[in-house]
Structure 1
C-alpha cells in the first residue's frame, strides 16, 4: 500500500521545511518540540522521546495561526501576482503546521492509543476547516488564477508548470470557484467528510483489538509450530501460560486460514474476520453510506453526477469508462484460469477426503495450499527458516544496492518511536547521506493492520537553495520473534517487504524542488508502479541466492526450493486477480452510486457478482473494513493496483530482456521514474523510460494467461502527451 496520508489536509497545505524542535516538559508552550526546528537531532530527525500527546493540539493551533498569517501576507502583497510571490510562497507556507502533522498522522496509525484517537477526532474538523478556509480564500484564489491565466507567457520549466497546474487544479477542485451558498455547502461537506473518514478508520482499529480466540486440543491441528509458539506467548502475556491465544491480526488470520485442519475453526475465523464493523459499537455500516453520500454531494457541486466522475479527472485512467474497461477486460481474461484452478482444487480435496467437497470461502487457502504442496512439493512453512528477517533486510536493501548503488547504515543515535523500530541512514554512491528510513515490522495493539509506507519528511529544495533530505518509514505486521525463534518470514511477507520498500525508494530518490511534487506525490494510479515493480524480484533466483540462507546452519536456500518458488508463482493467478477485481469493482460501485445506499451488503454483492467465486456468506462483507477507500486516499482509486500491475509487468520486461541488474536500465528507471515524482505527467515519464506506452501483454504472459507468441491486446492506458 502507498504511504499513509493525512487525508483531511488539502493538497494546498504542503509539507515544507519540516525540521523540528527541542523539548522537555509536556504541556508547556516553551518546551513544545514542534515549536522550533529539530536542530539538535541526527539529520534533523524527530526527537520522539520529547514528543507527548499533550504537545499536538497546541502545536496545531499555533501552526494554523502562523499559516493564516502567511496566507494573509500572500493575499495582501501589493505587488502583482507572480509565480514566486504567489505559487511558490503558497507552496512554502504551513511549515510549522506540517512539522506536527507529519509526526501525528504516521504515529496515529503505527503507535496509537485512545488519547491519540480522541485528539485526532478533535483535530479532524479543525484541520478540515483550516484547509477549506485556504482553498475558499477569494483573495488567494484571484492571485492564483491571475498567474495561471498568463502561464503561456511565463516561460516556466516543466516542474514549475506542474506546480502551477496542480495548485490551480487543487483550488478549483476544492471549491475556490464556487460562489455564495455553494461555497458554504462545500465547507460544511468537507468538514463532515473529515469527521466520517476519521471515525471509520478508528472503528476498524478499535474493533480489531477486541478479538481474542482461545483454541485447544484438536482445534490446533495443522497449525505450524511458529504459529503455536506465537499463540502460546500471547497467552502467557495475558497470564494464561500453557494455553493458546489467537487474535485477528493479519499474520495470525492468514496462517489459520491456510493451515488449520478443522473446517469449523477456519469458518469461525473467517466469519469473525469478515463480519467486523458490521454491527455494534464500532459498526461502519451507516458511516459508509454517509461517506458515499457526502462525496457524491461534493462532486455535484462541481457538476459531476458521481464522485468517481469527479475523482478520476486527475488520474491516468481519466474516467470511469477506462477503469471499467480495464477491470472487465481482466475479468474476462482471468475467469477461465480461475475456473480451472477451482476445478482442480475441488477434485483434489474430494479425493483427499474421500467425499465430494464444496469449496467455501474459508476452504480456499487451506486446500489451495495442500494442492500446491502435493503438486510442487511446496511447503511455505518449510521456507521460513531461509527468510530470517535480518537476512531479508540485507537482501531487500541489497536490491537497491545492486540496482542503484545505494547502501544502508543503521544509526542507533537516531531516535525511534517504538523499541521495535530501527532507523537507517541511506548512503548514495558518492558516500553522502541521502535520507533516513525507519523500519517497523511487528504487530501490536497500537498499530493498525496491513502494511504501508509514509513520510516523516518529504524531499525538497528550501528557500536558501539547500536540499532537505527525506525521512520515510515502512510499516508492516510480520510474525514476531518468540522465545525460541527469530522472526521468520514467508515468501508472501518478503514480497510485502519488497513492495513497501519500493514506495520508500520512490521517496528516498526524490530529486525535486517542491515537496508537493516529491516522491510518491503522483497520480494515484501511478504510485504503485515502483512498489509492484520490486515484487518481481521475489521469483528471480539471482536475487534470492544473494540472501536467502538457513537461520541456524547458514546454508543457502537449495536450488530446488528456489525453483519451487518460481514454479508456483503463477499458482492461483486467476483467484488472486478476481479477488483484486472484487475490491476494485466494489470501490467503483460505492463511488458511482447516485442515491443513498440503504443496503451496503446488497451493493457489495451486486458489484462483485461478475467476479464472485464462492457462495455468499450471510453477515460477511469487506466494505466495513475497507480502509483504503473509506479512510485512506483510494476512493474511486482501488483499481490503480491492477492499473499499476500492467505498468510494472511491462517495465520489468525491460529488465528481463536487458538483465535483472542491468545498470543502464536501472539508471533509466531511477532517473525517469523514481527521481521525478509528480513533476511531469506520469505517461511522459513512463514513455521516457520505456520508449513506448505500456500494453497488457507482459502482465498476461507473466501470469501464464497469454502465451508470449500471441499478438498484443489493446492498450489499457489512454495516449498522453510525449
Structure 2
C-alpha cells in the first residue's frame, strides 16, 4: 500500500522541501548497484568518518541502491521469521535487526544531504532527490509492515511486560505509525486511503506549482538610485543587474523571500511597497490570471484531509495531527493561543499607535497605517530610538570570537570539551571538524562538521542561511556515535577583514548549535529514539530556541564579542540596544504568528469556506483592516504543499516551552553553582533523552510542572502578566 507518513517520519521529508530549490519532473530511476561496499566504496574511513574528499554521486547512488535493497529484504526476512514461529523477544528479533539494517542506510542518506547542502556541485538537486526518495521509501517499509505492527500491538497489550521508557516509546512509535499508515483498516478502507492520498499528493503538487509560478511572475525594475539609497550592500547585490557593481543600477526586486523582506524594510517608495505587498498576498487569488488561482486546490486539500482523518478514525485532520504533537489536543493549543493573545493584542495596538505617531512626525502622509508600511517604519523607529545599525554592531562579532564564546558556554554548562581535529576529510577546505569529549573521557562521544561560509556556485542560499544535518544517530546496538554537520552562508573573510556576523546570524548560529547538541549529546540505546528522532513536531525546535536565549545574557555577549579593530567587547549601550530591538514590535510579530497558527487549525478542523474563516479570525488577532485583494491562504505553502498542515502552531509552542526552560537558568543567574545544577538537569533530560520519553514528561522531569506562557511573554517585554499556572 502507499506510504502515509503523517507523523514523525515526515520530519525526514520536510527538510528537503525547505531548501527552496525547484526541480523539473520526477526522478524514478536509481543506478544499479556498483562496486562492492564498503571495501571499494570510499564512503567511510577506518575511523568511521566519511571520506568526503573522494565521495562521488556514483558512490552515494551505488551505496543507497545496495543499502535500500538490503533493508527491504531484511524487513521481509523479519516478516518471514515472525510467520515461522512466535516472537518471544520483540527487541532481539525485530528492533535490533532493524537497527543493524538501518544504520548504514541512514549514514549514506545523511552524508548525501550534507554534500547537497554543502557543495551542490558535487551533489546536484536531481541526484539528491533520487537518493532522498529512494531512502525514504525503503526506510518507511518497517512502519507499514503488517507482521511487525501486529507484534508491536501484542507487546503493548502484554500486561506482564516491563518495558523501559525507551522501549515503550519505540513500541508506541511503531504503533502510531502503523495506525497512520492504515494498518488497522480492512482492505476496502485501505484502498480508499490509498486513493485519497494519491489525490492529495497531486493537489499539493499543483498548489505548489501555481504558487511558484505566481511568485516568479512579479518583477519590478528600479532605475532611480534614490529609491535604493537605504538598501544594505547585500540587498543591492541580490537585486543589481550586475552583482559585481551593486551600487550601479538598475535593480530588480522580486517576491523571493530574501529580496521581498529586505525591500519592504528598506524601500522608501511607498507605492512600490504597496505593489510588492499586493502581489505577494495576492498570489493564488486569480485576480490577474485565473489559471493560477489556488482556491479550489486549497479546498480540495482540506476536503481530502478530512476524509483521510475520518477513515483513520479521527474527528478532524487537526485531531489526527495531535497524535504526534507534545500539545496532545487541539484544545490545548487553543488555550495556549488565547493565553498569549491576551497580552499580545493590547501590546500590538499600543506598538502600532506609537509607530504611526513616529512615522507621522517624519513625513508619513497616509490616512492610516497599512501592513506594507510596518516593515519600513519599524526599521526607521528601531534605528532612531535605539541607535541600532547592523553594520556598526557587526564589527563587534568576528566569527572566530563568536565560536570561541559559543563553545566555551557549551563546555561550561554541560561539562564537555569541544576540540578541533585536523587532517579530516571534508567537502571543502573551509570545513572544520570538531570532536566532543565528556570531561572524564579520553575518546570522543560525538563529532560535528562546521561549514561556515557562503559559496555562491556551490551552496544553496536561503533566507535563514543555516542547516543542522544529523548525519548519523547514536546507537549502542551498532556502536555508532552521533555525527552532525552545521552548514551556514556567512560572508567569507577577505585579506582585509575577517568574517563578522549580524545579530540575526549569531542568533541562527546559536539556534542550530543548540539544535545539534540534542543530537550529539543523546544517551539512548536505539537510533530510533536518539537525538531528534521520534521527538514530537512541536518540540523539535525547543533546544535550539533555548540556546539562543543565552544571547540575552550580558556575560555571554561579552564572551562572544570583540571589535575587529580595538578588540573591545560590546559596550553596555549597544547591549541594551540589542535587548530593546529584541522586544521591539514583539506584540505585532506574536499576533501575526498566533493568527497564522489559529488559521491553520481552523482550516483543518472546520468545514467553513476558507475566506469565511479568515474574515472571522482576522479582527480577533490583527489590528489592520482585511483588504479585498489579500488572499494569503491561497499561497500558504507551509500548510498546503509542505508538511505543516495543522502543525504551524508548533513554531509558537516550541518558543513558549523554550522560554520556560531558559527561565530556570535565569531565575538562578546570580549563583553559578545553581546555574550548573540546572544545566546538568537540562543535559540529563532534554539533551540526553532524545525521543525516548514524551516531551511533556521530559519537561516535567526538568521543571517539575507543565509549561506556562509566562516566560515567553516576559521575554518579549509584556510586563503585566495575569496568567494562572497550568
Into which bin does the TM-score normalised by the smaller protein fall?
0.7 to 0.9
Q: Is the 8 A contact 1:236 1:243 kept in 2?
A: no
Q: Is the 8 A contact 2:68 2:134 kept in 1?
A: no
Partner residue in 2 for 1:139: 147
Partner residue in 1 for 2:352: 342
The separation in 2 between residues aligned to 1:435 and 1:9, in whole angstroms, is: 31
The separation in 2 between residues aligned to 1:185 and 1:119, in whole angstroms, is: 33
The separation in 1 between residues aligned to 2:426 and 2:279, in whole angstroms, is: 34
Partner residue in 2 for 1:496: 508
- TM-score, structure 1 as length reference: 0.83
The separation in 2 between residues aligned to 1:167 and 1:154, in whole angstroms, is: 17
The separation in 1 between residues aligned to 2:407 and 2:436, in whole angstroms, is: 10
Deviations 1:643-666 (A, max 9, x none): 223322222222112127621111
| Aligned-residue offset at 1:636 | 1.6
Partner residue in 1 for 2:381: 371
The answer to whether structure 1 residue 675 and structure 2 residue 688 are counterparts is: yes
The separation in 2 between residues aligned to 1:284 and 1:124, in whole angstroms, is: 28
Q: Secondary structure at the match of 1:155?
A: coil
Q: Is the 8 A contact 1:205 1:448 kept in 2?
A: no
Partner residue in 2 for 1:29: 33
| Aligned-residue offset at 1:588 | 1.4
Counterparts of 1:17-56 in structure 2, within 5 Å, are 29-31=33-35, 40-41=44-45, 43-48=47-52, 50-53=54-57
The answer to whether structure 1 residue 263 and structure 2 residue 276 are counterparts is: no
Partner residue in 1 for 2:553: 540
Change (3 A) 1:374 1:296: same
Partner residue in 2 for 1:512: 524
Partner residue in 2 for 1:470: 482
Partner residue in 2 for 1:385: 395
Q: Secondary structure at the match of 1:455?
A: strand
Instruction: State which drifts further: 414-423 or 341-350.
Output: 414-423
Q: Which runs of 5+ in 2 are unaligned?
A: 13-29
Instruction: State which drifts further: 192-201 or 59-68.
Output: 192-201
The separation in 1 between residues aligned to 2:605 and 2:313, in whole angstroms, is: 14
Q: Is the 8 A contact 1:14 1:95 kept in 2?
A: no
| Aligned-residue offset at 1:367 | 1.2
Q: Is the 8 A contact 1:33 1:50 kept in 2?
A: no
Q: Is the 8 A contact 1:249 1:443 kept in 2?
A: no
- TM-score, structure 2 as length reference: 0.82
Counterparts of 1:560-575 in structure 2, within 5 Å, are 560-575=573-588
Partner residue in 2 for 1:398: 408
Partner residue in 1 for 2:184: 177
Q: Secondary structure at the match of 2:369?
A: coil
Q: Is the 8 A contact 1:519 1:677 kept in 2?
A: yes
Q: Secondary structure at the match of 1:545?
A: helix
Counterparts of 1:207-356 in structure 2, within 5 Å, are 214-216=221-223, 217-225=225-233, 227-228=235-236, 235-236=242-243, 244=251, 250-271=257-278, 273-274=280-281, 288-353=298-363, 355-356=365-366
Change (3 A) 1:564 1:617: same
The answer to whether structure 1 residue 156 and structure 2 residue 168 are counterparts is: no
| Aligned-residue offset at 1:76 | 1.8
Partner residue in 1 for 2:718: 705
Change (3 A) 1:131 1:45: closer
The separation in 2 between residues aligned to 1:32 and 1:625, in whole angstroms, is: 47
The separation in 1 between residues aligned to 2:528 and 2:250, in whole angstroms, is: 51
Q: Is the 8 A contact 2:351 2:585 kept in 1?
A: yes
Of residues 82, 91, 94 in structure 2, which corresponds to 1:86? 94
The answer to whether structure 1 residue 657 and structure 2 residue 663 are counterparts is: no
The separation in 1 between residues aligned to 2:725 and 2:651, in whole angstroms, is: 19
CA RMSD of aligned residues (A): 4.0
| Aligned-residue offset at 1:545 | 0.7
Change (3 A) 1:665 1:570: same
Q: Which runs of 5+ in 1 are unaligned?
A: 1-5, 16-25, 716-722
Partner residue in 2 for 1:21: none
The answer to whether structure 1 residue 436 and structure 2 residue 436 are counterparts is: no
Instruction: State which drifts further: 627-636 or 303-312.
Output: 627-636
Q: Secondary structure at the match of 1:182?
A: helix
Change (3 A) 1:639 1:132: same
Q: Is the 8 A contact 1:507 1:520 kept in 2?
A: yes
Instruction: State which drifts further: 679-688 or 427-436.
Output: 427-436
Deviations 1:325-346 (A, max 9, x none): 2112222221000000000000
Q: Is the 8 A contact 2:418 2:437 kept in 1?
A: yes
Change (3 A) 1:273 1:659: same
Change (3 A) 1:149 1:583: same
The separation in 2 between residues aligned to 1:528 and 1:508, in whole angstroms, is: 15
The separation in 1 between residues aligned to 2:7 and 2:698, in whole angstroms, is: 25
Q: Is the 8 A contact 1:378 1:564 kept in 2?
A: yes
Q: Is the 8 A contact 2:8 2:536 kept in 1?
A: no
